[in-house]
Amino acid sequence: MFVLKGIEQLEKAIAKAKKVRPRVEFDRFGRYRVSGSKGYYTVICRKDERGYKTVDCTCKGAERGLVCYHAASALSLHIGLARRQQTA
């Protein structure tokens, strides 16, 4: 899991996501399935109890604290959906 602080921390993961182009499937708002090298991973985007925006992925890299391309890919969809909800 990581706390989303800004786009800078996502730059490498975004670049890899653009190269790999994983499939992102919507489960429900804040929960997504993203294709990866070992199948699908679950990515959860939410605010924690302190109000910090957090992203969690079930891949091995994320378990070690890395910002993975699965999270960057799901976050892209999540942000788009959140903006759409705000304007509705």
More confident site: 72 or 6: 72
Question: Helix, strand, coil proportions of the chain in percent (round to 5)?
Answer: 40, 30, 25
Q: What is the mean pLDDT of the chain?
A: 93
Q: Which is nearest to 57 in space by CA: 83, 30, 81?
A: 30
pLDDT tens digits for range 17-54: 999 999 999 999 999 999 999 999 999 999 999 999 99
What share of the chain has pLDDT > 90, as a percent?
Answer: 78
Residue 4 has pLDDT above 90, yes or no: no
DSSP H helical segments within the chain, as ranges?
Answer: 11-20, 60-63, 69-87
Residue 5's pLDDT is what? 85
The 10 Å CB-count burial string (b at 16+, else e) for 44-65 is bbeeeeeeebebebbbebbeee
Largest CA distance in the chain: 38
